[in-house]
Amino acid sequence: MLITIQGKELTVTVKRKRMKNIVLRLDNDGNVTISCPPHVSEERIYAFLKEKETWIIQARNRQMQKQEKVKTGIDGISATWMGKEYPVKFVEAKRNAMSFENGVIVFHVKDRSAETIEKTFYHEANKYLLYLIQQEREFLDEHICKMNQKPLPRIRIKYMTSRWGSCTPAKSNISISSRLIHFPHECFSYVLLHEYAHILVANHSKDFYNLLCTWMPNYRQVLKENKRNPIPNLY
């Protein structure tokens, strides 16, 4: 259903379930969902949403601010690196670079434009993620590919906004999102394993998740602990 709040038209997903009360939820992308008993009318749902109008606007604004920070990796005050938030500092320099100094992320940059900061940040992020891949792929190559007589995949890091990774088994290609730099290390490990598992099982069937459980028994806990991360859910 559609509802207009402060001049903005929002699409609300309504889920009718066996429950007693009306429940309002806002996901990490700012989408609004209403869960309610089957007998509740659209008029009652609309009235309920109007009652919660202020909360919806404030919550969506908070989500948008978080998403923007995650998208760029920095908000001018702090930056998120491997699940931890660090204060940032800017130093004028002839060449763009980024470093960690005494718990502070220091940007050595020609200018402080958003484009320059983002490009510098993800340049360093990609190098670090490639390092992590080299650290972890030996085990995955051995236990997933070699033991099942599958070719070793080509892995690349790329900036992706709609997914955290992808795998094309037929071509043995795996892509990992640069934005995983914002998650804790175990989330990166999960996504890398997830894509490797697709080399054996292309879909998300029970067999696929059984494979995940074999190689990462705590993967459900990893996803649960990061469910409230401002970045869209891992899977």
Entry pTM: 0.68
Evaluate if residue 22 carries a pLDDT over 50.
yes
Mean pLDDT score across all residues of the chain: 87
Evaluate if residue 234 carries a pLDDT over 70.
no
> Is 128-225 a CATH 3.30.2010.10 domain?
yes
Spatial distance between the Cα atoms of 147 and 188, rounded to a whole number of angstroms: 23
pLDDT (tens digit per residue) in 50-81: 898 888 888 887 766 665 555 555 666 888 89
- DSSP result, 176-196: EEGGGGGS-HHHHHHHHHHHH
Q: Are 98 and 108 in contact (CB under 8 A)?
A: yes
Evaluate if residue 227 carries a pLDDT over 80.
no
Considering 28-32, 70-74, 76-80, 133-137, the range whose residues carry the highest mean pLDDT is: 133-137
* Portions of the chain given CATH number 3.30.2010.10: 128-225
